[in-house]
């Protein structure tokens, strides 16, 4: 009997009607003779609301209690999904993260799954019971609830598929696959039928939130048969033309640039007059890391006089108050001048073809210049180029770059 993991994201379980529609899909897979594990997200908007409560309570909230609060959204949907399945005469129960258990490290707010105990779950699957697992939740080494970072239900699903050696992991969402860019911003975006794990990791880490980066890493490491499918409509599983993740690059639609990704709501912090001495970066970034602030781009300018330099880094806008508070703990902070710019966005072009093709950066910069868009920070890797620009120009930049790199649908 094949085992499959079916994951439903926030918009696919946004209300009772949607949960019922998702339950119909699960029932159809059961009828086809599959053992099914269902992973559910919180109803759309719920996690944002819970995060908002934490921030409202305190800018330096205890990250362990944050996990207690924000993990609760998934608990609700797991119970409701189990009920919906029972209504369809399917034996089903919820398994909270700690009940499975899904073990993680102690990095609250951004935990990594270290192992999953599957014996009890497997026993019940063998009896024909459907397991409903709330995504996003884990249990730390210290026996506390952890969460896997935003979008983490994808990772719960893939990690369960890997641990159970499932035949398939189907990620049901509100788009019918992975596109060359977010189809909400660029209607001309094209659906990618097959994409390599590497490119998807890069696209996801640069903001294409259709899959959490870590879920793709786990899929790649464990060779999980992972596909992204649309949750609307009647069809299920491999009947649907979604996007299949693959290790086999020969099969791929090869283009120099395979996609454009963006991250809105970036903030930039610049520290002026930073002493140009060894160890200074560690002094600045240690308090940020202790406060569980995710720092993204980092730029250190050369010092013009040999004594002092400027250091710039970016964080998400929501984390800015926490970052600034953490900086107060930097030794000698009173001598630093801190400048903050909000309302920025990061736009990136991604493609494995960049390794062997030149001129991508210049095309990117020319395209942005033609639209009069100023670049604040640039960062590159072998297969991507990212620029930080004003948030107001983000959509324009994404559209222009998508078109400039020949990704628009004919």
Query: Which residue ranges make up the site for ligand ADP (CB under 6 A)?
Result: 9-12, 41, 151, 173-175, 178-179, 181-182, 184, 203, 208-210, 259
The alpha carbon torsion through 375, 366, 354, 208 (nearest 10 deg) reads 50
Measured from the CB atom, the residue of 11 and 270 that comes closer to ligand ADP is 11
Annotate each residue in 285-314 with x if it binds ligand ASP (CB under 6 A) or - if it does not, as one string.
------------------------------
Query: According to CB under 6 A, which one of 34, 104, 153, 246 is a site residue for ligand ASP?
Result: 153
Measured from the CB atom, the residue of 90 and 229 that comes closer to ligand ADP is 229
320-342 residues labelled b (16+ CB within 10 A) or e (exposed) = bebbbebbeebeeeeebeeeeee
Tell me which of Mg ion, ligand ASP, ligand ADP, none is bound by residue 73, counting a contact when its beta carbon lies within the kind-specific cut-off of 5 to 8 angstroms. ligand ASP
- Count the Cβ atoms, other than its own, within 10 Å of residue 3: 19
Contact between 109 and ligand ASP by CB under 6 A: the answer reads no
- Output the six-digit token pair for 391: 């948030």
Determine contact, residues 26/80, Cβ cutoff 8 Å.
Answer: no
Give least dist CB 44 to ligand ASP, A: 8
Tell me which of Mg ion, ligand ASP, ligand ADP, none is bound by residue 47, counting a contact when its beta carbon lies within the kind-specific cut-off of 5 to 8 angstroms. ligand ASP
Q: Cα-atom radius of gyration of the chain, to the nearest Å?
A: 22
Measured from the CB atom, the residue of 10 and 73 that comes closer to ligand ADP is 10
Burial of 236 (0-12, 13-18, 19+ CB in 10 A): buried
Determine contact, residues 178/211, Cβ cutoff 8 Å.
Answer: yes
Interaction residues for Mg ion, span 123-182 (CB under 5 A)? 151
- Length of the chain in terms of residues written: 410
The one-character DSSP state at 223 is T
Give least dist CB 51 to ligand ADP, A: 14
Sites of contact with ligand ASP (CB under 6 A) = 9-10, 41-42, 47, 73, 135-136, 150-154
User: Which chain residues interact with Mg ion by CB under 5 A?
Assistant: 9, 151
């Amino acid at each position: 009997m094949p085992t499959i993991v079916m994951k439903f994201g926030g918009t696919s379980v946004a209300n009772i009607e949607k949960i019922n529609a998702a339950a119909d899909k699960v029932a159809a897979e059961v009828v086809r003779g599959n053992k099914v594990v269902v992973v559910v997200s919180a109803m759309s908007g719920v996690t944002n609301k819970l995060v908002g409560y934490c921030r409202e309570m305190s800018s330096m909230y205890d990250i362990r209690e944050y996990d207690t609060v924000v993990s609760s959204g998934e608990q609700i949907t797991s119970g409701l999904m189990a009920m919906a399945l029972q209504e369809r005469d399917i034996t089903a129960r919820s398994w909270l993260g700690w009940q499975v258990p899904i073990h993680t490290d102690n990095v609250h707010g951004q935990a990594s799954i270290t192992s999953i105990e599957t014996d009890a779950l497997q026993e019940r699957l063998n009896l024909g019971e459907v397991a409903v697992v709330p995504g996003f939740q884990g249990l730390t080494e210290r026996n506390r609830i952890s969460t896997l970072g935003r979008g983490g239900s994808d990772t719960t699903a893939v990690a369960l598929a890997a641990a159970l050696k499932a035949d398939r992991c189907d990620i049901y969402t509100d788009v019918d696959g992975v596109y060359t860019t977010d189809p909400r911003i660029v209607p001309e975006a094209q659906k990618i039928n097959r994409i390599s794990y590497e490119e998807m990791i890069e696209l996801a880490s640069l903001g294409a939130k259709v899959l959490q980066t870590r879920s793709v890493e786990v899929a790649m490491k464990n060779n999980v048969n992972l596909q992204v499918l649309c949750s609307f409509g009647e069809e299920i599983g491999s009947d649907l033309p979604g996007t299949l993740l693959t290790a086999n690059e020969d099969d791929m639609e090869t283009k120099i640039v395979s996609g454009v990704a963006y991250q809105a709501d970036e903030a930039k912090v610049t520290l002026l007059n930073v002493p140009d001495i060894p160890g200074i970066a560690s002094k600045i970034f240690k308090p940020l890391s202790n406060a569980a602030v995710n720092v993204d781009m980092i730029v250190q300018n050369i010092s013009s006089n040999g004594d002092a330099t400027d250091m710039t880094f970016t964080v998400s806008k929501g984390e800015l108050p926490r970052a600034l508070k953490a900086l107060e703990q930097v030794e000698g902070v009173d001598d630093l001048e801190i400048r903050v710019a909000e309302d920025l966005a990061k736009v990136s072009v991604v493609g494995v073809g960049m390794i062997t093709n030149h001129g991508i950066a210049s095309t990117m910069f020319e395209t942005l210049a033609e639209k009069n868009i100023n670049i604040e920070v640039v960062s590159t890797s072998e297969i991507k180029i990212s620029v930080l620009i004003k948030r107001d120009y983000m959509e324009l930049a994404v559209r222009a770059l998508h078109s400039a790199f020949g990704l628009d649908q004919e």
